[in-house]
Structure 1
């Protein structure tokens, strides 16, 4: 007698993406920009690259740190002291953290900021070994 294997597909494949963008789905686009830093991640030439869109931020107001496998980008846009009739520009702090790949070399990090785009690249070394199960012996 043959037993049929039944593959069950996840009924909502976009659900994880939906939850990742959850805070921005229920706000106006201008407010979403206030609370989020848009990024993209990819691997290129043996390096893990993160690009963050940060228009109007000065280099002195940027901070990039790497600690315990996490890369954190902090930025702050400060308000100028001028009389304004109207302002749609958002001011304040932005922070975004990304978990680095297991093979990331935290001592090989480069960053550059050109035309409102921050590019941070981290060298990739040898993949660290996956956890392996050890046989437990129990003498009887």
Structure 2
């Protein structure tokens, strides 16, 4: 007989907090039906890439909105609840939203968004970084 646990899974604390927060908001009021999207982001080959976990979206063109304004990337999604008479559901339905600050050099033009297998991928082109400061020669006034 083994004393080791049969199954052990590491789940980040933020993920647990997000699930707890969403479960507390759900029964409070229909006005609180907005849930936080889980993201990962990275800079890959001169592009800022954001991946959002949004499973169960049936029509991405209609149910997902991606926008850029004032240096922020905003992702909004809607997942409609299916009414089932038997059983229970722990799925999250309603509105999902997330905004992230874009890195320096992010371009508004050329942004692309694709959705597949429950993952939204947004790529934002990055411009070459500009020098932080320009040196100015000081001349003698005499």
TM range (shorter): 0.5 to 0.7
Within a 5 Å distance, the mapping from 1:1-140 to structure 2 comes to: 21=14, 24=17, 27=20, 31=23, 35-58=35-58, 59=60, 60-130=62-132
CA offsets 1:6-48 (integer angstroms, 9 cap, x no match): xxxxxxxxxxxx8xx49927927x739x732110010111100
What SS class does the counterpart of residue 75 from structure 2 fall into? strand
Where in structure 1 do 4 or more consecutive aligned residues deviate above 6 Å? Answer: none
2: CA distance between counterparts of 1:102 and 1:65? 17
Identify unmatched segments of 5+ residues in structure 1.
1-17, 135-140
RMSD value over aligned CA atoms?
3.0
Deviation at 1:86, TM superposition (A): 2.1
Structure 2 length-normalised TM: 0.67
Identify unmatched segments of 5+ residues in structure 2.
1-12, 25-33, 137-142
CA offsets 1:48-88 (integer angstroms, 9 cap, x no match): 00000111123121000011111000011111244344222
Matched positions, count: 113
